[in-house]
Amino acid sequence: MTAVYLAMICGGIAVLYGIVTSGQVLRQSPGDARMQDIAGAIQEGAKAYLGRQYTTIAVVGLVVAVVLAVTLGWLSTLGFAIGAVLSGVAGYVGMTISVRANVRTAEAARTSLQAGLTTAFRSGAVTGMLVAGLGLLAIAVFFWYLVGPAGHAPNDRLIVEALTALAFGASLISIFARLGGGIFTKAADVGADLVGKVEAGIPEDDPRNPAVIADNVGDNVGDCAGMAADLFETYVVTLGVTMISIALLVRADAGELLRLMSLPLIVGGVCILTSIIGTYMVRLGRSGSIMGALYKGFWTSALLAVPAIFAAAHYTLGDLNAVIGNAGFLDAVSDDLTQGGAAAGSGFTGMDLVWCMVIGLGVTGLIVWITEYYTGTAYRPVRSIARASETGHGTNVIQGLAISLEATALPTLVIVVAVIATYQLAGVIGIAFAATAMLALAGMVVALDAYGPVTDNAGGIAEMAALPDEVRQRTDALDAVGNTTKAVTKGYAIGSAGLAALVLFGAYTTDLSTYFPEVEVDFSLSNPYVIVGLLLGALLPYLFGAFGMTAVGRAAGAVVEEVRGQFRDDPGIMQGTSRPRYGRTVDLVTRAAIREMIVPSLLPVLSPIAVYAIVRLVAGQANGFAALGAMLLGVIVSGLFVALSMTSGGGAWDNAKKYIEDGHHGGKGSEAHKAAVTGDTVGDPYKDTAGPAVNPMIKITNIVALLLLAVLAARGG
């Protein structure tokens, strides 16, 4: 249990870091009255939106909680509530700090680039550490309660169910937050760009544009709050499913199981410490490279994590060369697998797990590197899109789509190699620990990401408050690398989902054989119901993407109409003599985003249930389970590609525009620039609405399936 306590302490330190660092940020000057006025409007809009979003989600959450209470009992309901509430808190707190850091970053950027970077990154680090800290605390405290005061055995079904419910709570909130926030931010962004930059010919963030505040609000509720909820979910689900799969798969005595189940927690804990150290390394070097400064922080955290993980494993497990459990993996999942590769039939050692975690860290590093290659302005992909912009809007989009398709290849190969290597080392448990190590760095990764919207906002405030040009130049420089860090987080989240989904499927099959030992389910590819499940699962990300893209298009269209109306009704707005009615636009986008997020968010919740019910009706229970299981893998096999292509492609389009704005291919105002703006607009919902929401969608589908099994078992099939 000491390991669990230590993990709780580390989680506490992360929260403490968040409080202290928030204080540092908030003590900085918020600038002059005009700046505070603008920031106030953004704060108000963001608070109002999140308030309504969470109220709406609460209704759905309450219904689900009642269903869980009736079917699985109060412990699962408690888990669900913890996951749901803390996911909401992570998003809300992230938004709260970032709407205050934006104006302070703008003010700090008056002094120097370094000062702006420090303020923005600190604010990002607050969000990052709260996501990781709250995530770790949620699981550690809940697990401590279950095996301590409540006195359950570590592999008790109740614990598995309760941890699953915790993950479900986090996922359910995060899909709404990701999608609602994503629709809000891109509807406002695209709408503002279309009517401002394209139609009225006024620059981005011009205060005469009535949609400009909504655009800035969007950065906070989408890229910050939505992202934080998403990564909170990823963190909780990954660590949770690692523990669940240990409970389900490893055959060992209770003490050994407890130690093994604590390992993900303490690994999360020590990596919080290395991430905190990393945050202090984020400083501009002599080259003045911002990406370089951020990388110093990231690489410090990642490299320190290697010895930290080794020490944590040694502390928790003792002798790292001793074999743990017996046959701790796939022959438990499926007896067919005894001939399945070198791993089967043998146990694994602590050292095997350490290697798996090092591989997980390696995957994170590689995904960062690949994402930078595909979205950075220094490499072929972005430059090829910029070059294609010279021949028009059409070729820009064609090349962007080509890059988005291509960008799926390397991450997939990395994931495939990681799956094979970790499976050879320690079976499904090995894959799970690789995913855990990836997520252990979440504090740092989220910090890099959450820094982006703050600088984006700071630029907007600088523009609207008419700060000197050099301030805007500095915030623009800070913002440009934000595109890459944002893409990194998404690639990282979906990559870890690729690993976690395999583990979730393992949990599903084990649950099946536990709950329904009499039902022989055939998961072989030669069972047509498996194919049916794969196809229906593969359809989900497409349908979900269609909903997301349509929602943004529709809501952006409404913004355009609204702004055109304001310009028409009050010609003083364009002359700069009257103030636009910012609030009305924020309101409009709020209503649109809330309305549009409901149906697609329920899609992954209800589809698994529908597929099981229908196939069961047509072809019996065994095939119902087979189709459902295959659906879980179909959704990851297709979702991985949809998400990777959308997020990388969107980032590349955005930076191709920035590359042209830096003076290449004719620079700002050229025909190439106009084409690049089109590409950027197309990439917006790709990378910030549809693409990133695929990650929580995959998790939800999987977790709903696990809960469905538990419910069916409880009600006797």
> Which CB atom, from 71 or from 424, has the smaller least distance to a second copy?
424
Residue 504 CB, nearest approach to a second copy (Å): 12
Residue 65 CB, nearest approach to a second copy (Å): 31
Distance (Å, whole) CA 548 – CA 542:
10
Residue 502 CB, nearest approach to a second copy (Å): 6
Residue 426 CB, nearest approach to a second copy (Å): 12
Residue 437 CB, nearest approach to a second copy (Å): 18
Q: List, as own/partner pairs, every contact residues 463-470 make where C-beta atoms lie below 8 angstroms and the sequence separation is at least 24, other chains included.
A: 463/203, 463/204, 463/205, 463/206, 463/207, 464/38, 464/205, 464/206, 464/207, 464/212, 465/31, 465/32, 465/34, 465/35, 465/38, 465/106, 466/34, 467/35, 467/106, 467/110, 468/110
> Which CB atom, from 413 or from 613, has the smaller least distance to a second copy?
413
Cα-based angle 414, 403, 199 (whole degrees, multiple of 5)? 140
Which residues are 348's β-sheet partners? 324
> Which CB atom, from 524 or from 575, has the smaller least distance to a second copy?
524
Of the candidates 621, 594, 597, 630, which has an alpha carbon nearest to the alpha carbon of residue 519?
621
> Which CB atom, from 43 or from 389, has the smaller least distance to a second copy?
389
Distance (Å, whole) CA 274 – CA 637:
33
> Which CB atom, from 79 or from 683, has the smaller least distance to a second copy?
683
Of the candidates 219, 274, 15, which has an alpha carbon nearest to the alpha carbon of residue 131?
15
Find out whether 690 and 147 touch, Cβ atoms under 8 Å: no
> Which CB atom, from 403 or from 711, has the smaller least distance to a second copy?
403
Residue 438 CB, nearest approach to a second copy (Å): 17
> Which CB atom, from 150 or from 539, has the smaller least distance to a second copy?
539
> Which CB atom, from 142 or from 523, has the smaller least distance to a second copy?
523
Distance (Å, whole) CA 636 – CA 33:
50
Find out whether 663 and 676 touch, Cβ atoms under 8 Å: no
Distance (Å, whole) CA 102 – CA 98:
6
Strands in 219-325 per DSSP E:
323-324
> Which CB atom, from 347 or from 427, has the smaller least distance to a second copy?
427
Distance (Å, whole) CA 618 – CA 615:
5
> Which CB atom, from 365 or from 557, has the smaller least distance to a second copy?
557
Residue 421 CB, nearest approach to a second copy (Å): 9
Tell me, what amino acid is at 365? G
> Which CB atom, from 174 or from 678, has the smaller least distance to a second copy?
678
Residue 363 CB, nearest approach to a second copy (Å): 14
Residue 622 CB, nearest approach to a second copy (Å): 6
Distance (Å, whole) CA 675 – CA 657:
9
Structure tokens at 233: 């979910």
Residue 676 CB, nearest approach to a second copy (Å): 11
Find out whether 537 and 626 touch, Cβ atoms under 8 Å: no
> Which CB atom, from 492 or from 529, has the smaller least distance to a second copy?
529
DSSP readout, 336-387? GGGGSTTTTTS-EEHHHHHHHHHHHHHHHHHHHHHHHHHHSTTSHHHHHHHH
Distance (Å, whole) CA 370 – CA 565:
44
Neighbours of 110 (CB within 10 A): 16
Residue 649 CB, nearest approach to a second copy (Å): 10
Neighbours of 349 (CB within 10 A): 18
Which residues are 323's β-sheet partners? 349
Q: Would you tell me the crossing angle of helices 442-464 and 290-317 to the nearest 10 degrees? A: 150
Residue 357 CB, nearest approach to a second copy (Å): 18
> Which CB atom, from 236 or from 538, has the smaller least distance to a second copy?
538
* Residue 665 backbone class (left: φ over 0; alpha: ψ -120 to 50; beta: rest): left
Biggest CA-to-CA distance, the chain: 78
> Which CB atom, from 147 or from 690, has the smaller least distance to a second copy?
690
Of the candidates 543, 547, 706, which has an alpha carbon nearest to the alpha carbon of residue 625?
706
Residue 413 CB, nearest approach to a second copy (Å): 8
Find out whether 102 and 39 touch, Cβ atoms under 8 Å: yes
Of the candidates 235, 156, 249, which has an alpha carbon nearest to the alpha carbon of residue 509?
249
Residue 211 CB, nearest approach to a second copy (Å): 13
